[in-house]
């Protein structure tokens, strides 16, 4: 079956809402954060650990899996779920953002995108139809259309052309999508221009998709501008379908996104910073590699009940990281993902108890102070 989405609670003072996202594999309580498993793995963690920390939906990337090991190999294993032994749900990104980030290694045309592999320099061509077919073969629960993401800053005319191309590609993607049990989500673009955002959303809703993502944010614009742009966009999307904010994962931005009615999020932030020794705590970011923690026997976060904080000290984890022991990266990664999943549980609880507005007013300023700067 394709995904089903049911609204459970709505906040009377904001656009925040909770719901249940049902796929053929499980039911995910929303709002939810989705760990990024770009190449068929969330770096450093086993699927059992992901399930243990509360992840029900993870992201895989069609672009990376196409280049390595090859979608055909994954399909022969029965699809991405079987290949990586994951029993939960999977959303696959089409590769649009990766193409955007390639810079001089790609050429965008109306037909599709020609790009150079970052692995071996080989040339490839990705069309909206091919991106969908590859995701059909991967067997993810949710597939994404191929889109064109504009940089920040960008001129109005440049963004307008990207919106028009994104709409045409979305329509072609829908026609190419053949897997009935897999949902296809569209991606709203438009940079930070109000009329372009609204036009993009309206045109995609008219075509009709199983859910809607908001892309092209968190690409360098100030957070306040990102939130303002989000506020313009969400109202144009169907209230009874999933809303997905792409590439956002700092605690303050997650709370703000929920306030504007977002249901699911993804970002490499928690796992990427973990590999550099940076962890999230109730007192903000902590750089555990610093020498001040060399003899610190306290946990990463005294208010955290994750297995890492229950069993290991800052001094020990610092030692592992500085000694380049793999366990250190695994522990910081687990903690960061647990921290964000705990935050989302608290948000869902506040929604269920009809106190989200108070929670937002109390926690929002704290999170903005602790995490509101550059990630």
Residue-wise pLDDT tens digits, 134-175: 999 999 999 999 999 999 999 999 999 999 999 999 999 999
32-267 architecture in CATH?
A: Alpha-Beta Barrel (3.20)
List the domain boundaries for the chain.
32-267, 274-365
* Identified catalytic residue from 263, 266, 301, 375: 266
- Is residue 305 part of the annotated active site? The answer reads no
How many C-beta neighbours within 10 Å does residue 181 have?
Answer: 11
Q: Return d(Cα 28, Cα 148) in angstroms, integer.
A: 29
**Rounded to whole angstroms, what are the CA distances from 1 to 22, 26, 56, 79, 127?**
9, 12, 17, 16, 26
pLDDT at 120 over 70: yes
pLDDT at 44 over 80: yes
* Helix, strand, coil content of the chain in percent (nearest 5): 45, 20, 35
Predicted pLDDT at 349 = 98
Residue-wise pLDDT tens digits, 202-244: 999 999 999 999 999 999 999 999 999 999 999 999 999 999 9
CA-closest candidate to residue 66, choices 28, 92, 42: 92
- Is residue 296 part of the annotated active site? The answer reads no
Collapsed DSSP state (helix, strand, coil) of residue 234? helix
Q: Are strands 123-126 and 17-22 parallel, antiparallel or unpaired?
A: unpaired
Is residue 375 very low, low, confident or very high in pLDDT (cuts 50, 70, 90)? low
pLDDT at 374 over 60: no
pLDDT at 272 over 90: yes
- The one-character DSSP state at 247 is T
Predicted pLDDT at 1 = 65
> By percentage, how much of the chain surpasses pLDDT 90?
94
């Amino acid at each position: 079956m394709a995904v089903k989405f049911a609204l459970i609670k709505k906040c009377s003072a904001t656009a925040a809402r909770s719901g249940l996202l049902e796929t053929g594999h499980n039911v995910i309580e929303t709002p939810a954060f989705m760990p990024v498993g770009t190449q068929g793995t969330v770096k450093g963690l086993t699927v059992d650990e992901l399930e243990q920390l509360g992840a029900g939906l993870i992201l895989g990337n069609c672009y990376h899996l196409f280049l390595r090991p090859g979608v055909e190999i994954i399909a022969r294993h029965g699809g991405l779920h079987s290949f990586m032994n994951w029993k939960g749900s999977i959303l696959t990104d089409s590769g649009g953002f990766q193409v955007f980030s390639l810079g001089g290694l790609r050429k965008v045309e109306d037909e599709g995108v020609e790009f150079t592999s970052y692995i071996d320099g080989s040339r490839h061509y990705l069309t909206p139809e091919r991106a969908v077919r590859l995701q059909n073969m991967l067997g993810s629960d949710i597939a994404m259309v191929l889109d064109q993401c504009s940089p920040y800053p960008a001129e109005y005319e440049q963004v307008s052309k990207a919106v028009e191309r994104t709409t045409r590609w979305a329509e072609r993607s829908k026609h190419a999508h053949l897997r009935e049990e897999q949902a296809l989500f569209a991606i709203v673009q438009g940079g930070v221009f109000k009329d372009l955002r609204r036009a993009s959303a309206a045109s995609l809703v008219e075509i009709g998709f199983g859910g809607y993502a908001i892309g092209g944010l968190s690409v360098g614009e100030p957070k306040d501008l990102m939130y303002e742009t989000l506020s313009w966009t969400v109202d144009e999307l169907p209230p009874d379908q999933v809303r997905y904010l792409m590439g956002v994962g700092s605690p303050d931005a997650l709370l703000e996104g929920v306030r504007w009615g977002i249901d699911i999020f993804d970002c490499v932030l928690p796992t990427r910073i973990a590999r550099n020794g940076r962890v999230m705590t109730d007192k903000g970011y902590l750089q555990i590699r610093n020498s001040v923690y060399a003899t610190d026997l306290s946990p990463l976060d005294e208010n955290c009940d994750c297995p890492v904080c229950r069993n290991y000290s800052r001094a020990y984890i610092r030692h592992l990281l500085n000694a380049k022991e793999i366990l250190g990266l695994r522990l910081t990664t687990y903690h960061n993902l647990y921290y964000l999943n705990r935050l989302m549980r608290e948000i869902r609880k506040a929604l269920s108890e009809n106190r989200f507005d108070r929670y937002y007013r109390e926690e929002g300023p704290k999170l903005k102070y602790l995490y509101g700067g550059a990630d």
